[in-house]
Amino acid sequence: GHDYDRFDLEATIAGFGACKSACESDANCMAWTYVKAGVQGPKAICWLKSAVPPPTPNGCCVSGAKAQTASAPQPPPEKPVKHTGRS
């Protein structure tokens, strides 16, 4: 799939917060998956993803999509004012 980076999380790091934070601070990351310790090895693993895959329920993991900041809508351009040359 869309995995482009992974790293092991130390046992002292509880939960998926470090994985989520890593994605939020990485411009290439669109989604993340935290794999619980003991599933793919003795340590928990964080996978960073370059695209958001379809959700798949699975008790082994916690996943999330990067929060997208919506830009404020731009005001419409001003209509040009025609000058007739008369005062």
Q: Which two tokens stand for residue 26?
A: 């990485």
Residue at 40 is within a domain: yes
Predicted pLDDT at 64:
94
Q: End-to-end CA distance of the chain: give it in Å, rounded.
A: 68
Percent of the residues in the chain that have a pLDDT greater than 90, as a whole number: 43
Closest CA to 61 of 45, 49, 82: 45
Q: Which has more confidence, 33 or 9?
A: 33
- Pair 52, 44: CB distance under 8 Å: no
Residue at 73 is within a domain: no
Q: Structural domain tally of the chain?
A: 1
Residue at 60 is within a domain: yes
Task: Supply the range of the domain harboring residue 29.
Answer: 3-65
The CB-side HSE value for 36 (13 A sphere, CA atoms) comes to: 5
Residue at 86 is within a domain: no
Residue at 19 is within a domain: yes
What is the arithmetic mean of pLDDT over 64-79?
A: 68
Residue at 78 is within a domain: no
Predicted pLDDT at 55:
87
